């Protein structure tokens, strides 16, 4: 019997997120998802009048495609999928998998080529030209990542993905307005002391329209304004590899020194993908009240209550983007709640968040006691 929570999630993503209607052409892109769940998303989309297309993928098959991929082969895949995407007005991605490290043995050089030849065509068209929304799927491997039983993780998953996004959107308006008015940002915490400008970039509140789960407000630093250093206190899983204790030293917006222990060389290989990979394309504050601890999944971790993420690589288009271009977009997270070492964020000399809690009265609606 189909879990009714799947129907609730499908309704949320087809209505609140993509706002499907009879004029839409939707691609449901499912990676290692139970067929009955995919079928339910199709049914709900069809109930909105959408013309619905499905693409089913396997991470096991994709790994082999990448291991043997030439530039021409990647270009062929990109050309085919770009043609498909150009015919769509909306996109829903359901991303599952039984092994989060499935791509771990694909060479970094191959992943970089994939990011350039596929990511900068297909993905960028999807981001810029369609109404899109992405979620993970509660597979047992994700439960293992989170250190939870499968049943407990499923409960957690459906609780955090189907929060009251209308309430979240209302609570986020003052933060979005404040970020739009802010020039100088100063962030301090263990191993972190950063200063940069966000003047004129613009802020974007994210409350269930593109990512599920959601709960962030993002902008970007003025490209060459950032000075200082940052230490990320959460593990980051990227291209099938776990990176711990990432530390960047930054001058004039550019990462000039990058360390990650045993993965330092691989970290620098990724940052050398292109010139834009060593500049930052996004900075965001996270405030989902139900996501409190990292689980090696960026879609969840970047929304952690009391966190921020700072992203080397490609920027979104304005508002919220600073013009930086790259094949890389790597969200990495710093949690500033007391149990993770605390920290402060200042806007134009005014303290706005301390130890993960907003201290200005107009922003208090985003704290977990109010938002949860």
Q: What is the pLDDT of residues 80-116, one digit of tens each?
A: 999 999 999 999 999 998 888 899 999 989 999 999 9
Q: What is the pLDDT of residues 330-371, one digit of tens each?
A: 999 999 999 999 999 999 999 999 999 999 999 999 999 999
Mean predicted confidence (pLDDT) in 313-342: 96
Q: What is the pLDDT of residues 8-67, one digit of tens each?
A: 999 999 999 999 999 999 999 999 999 999 999 999 999 999 999 999 999 999 999 999
Tell which wins on pLDDT, 189 or 99.
189
What is the pLDDT at residue 145? Answer: 83
What is the pLDDT at residue 158? Answer: 93
What is the pLDDT at residue 342? Answer: 98
C-alpha torsion angle, residues 284, 285, 287, 291 (rounded to 10): 60
What is the pLDDT at residue 73? Answer: 97
Q: What is the pLDDT of residues 118-171, one digit of tens each?
A: 999 999 999 999 999 999 999 888 898 888 999 999 999 999 998 899 999 999
pLDDT at residue 289 above 90? yes
Mean predicted confidence (pLDDT) in 267-290: 97
What is the pLDDT at residue 266? Answer: 96
What is the pLDDT at residue 239? Answer: 87
| Low-confidence winner among 103-107, 196-200, 256-260 (lowest mean pLDDT) | 103-107
What is the pLDDT at residue 322? Answer: 98
What is the pLDDT at residue 138? Answer: 92
pLDDT at residue 240 above 90? no
Which domains are assigned to the chain?
A: 4-161 (3.40.1830.10), 165-371 (no CATH)
pLDDT at residue 273 above 90? yes
């Amino acid at each position: 019997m189909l879990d009714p929570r799947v129907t609730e999630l499908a309704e949320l993503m087809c209505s609140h997120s993509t706002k499907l209607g009879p004029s839409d052409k939707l691609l449901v892109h499912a990676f290692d998802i139970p067929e009955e769940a995919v079928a339910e998303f199709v049914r709900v989309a069809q109930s909105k009048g959408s013309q619905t297309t499905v693409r089913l993928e396997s991470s096991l098959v994709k790994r082999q495609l990448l291991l043997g991929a030439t530039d021409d082969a990647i270009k062929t895949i990109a050309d085919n999928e770009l043609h498909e995407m150009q015919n769509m007005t909306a996109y829903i991605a359901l991303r599952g998998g039984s092994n989060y490290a499935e791509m771990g043995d694909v060479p970094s050089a191959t992943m970089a080529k994939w990011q350039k030849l596929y990511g900068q065509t297909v993905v960028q068209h999807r981001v810029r030209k369609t109404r899109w929304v992405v979620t993970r799927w509660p597979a047992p491997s994700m439960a293992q990542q989170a250190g939870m039983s499968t049943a407990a993780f499923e409960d957690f998953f459906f609780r955090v993905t189907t929060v009251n996004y209308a309430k979240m959107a209302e609570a986020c308006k003052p933060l979005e307005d404040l970020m739009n008015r802010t020039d100088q940002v100063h962030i301090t915490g263990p191993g972190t002391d950063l200063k940069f400008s966000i003047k004129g970039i613009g802020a974007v509140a994210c409350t269930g329209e593109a990512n599920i789960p959601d709960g962030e407000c993002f902008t970007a630093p003025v490209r060459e304004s950032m000075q200082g250093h940052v230490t990320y206190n959460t593990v980051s899983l990227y291209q099938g590899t776990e990176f711990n204790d990432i530390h960047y030293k930054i001058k004039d917006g550019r990462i000039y020194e990058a360390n990650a222990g045993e993965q330092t060389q691989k970290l620098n290989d990724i940052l050398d993908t292109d010139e834009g990979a060593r500049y930052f394309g996004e900075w965001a504050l996270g405030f989902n009240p139900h996501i409190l601890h990292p689980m090696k999944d960026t879609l969840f971790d970047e929304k952690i209550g009391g966190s921020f993420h700072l992203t080397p690589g490609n920027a979104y288009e304005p508002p919220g983007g600073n013009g930086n271009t790259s094949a890389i977009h790597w969200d990495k997270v710093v949690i500033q709640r007391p149990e993770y070492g605390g920290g402060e964020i200042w806007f134009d000399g005014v303290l706005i968040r301390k130890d993960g809690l907003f201290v200005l009265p107009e922003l208090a609606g985003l704290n977990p006691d109010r938002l949860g």
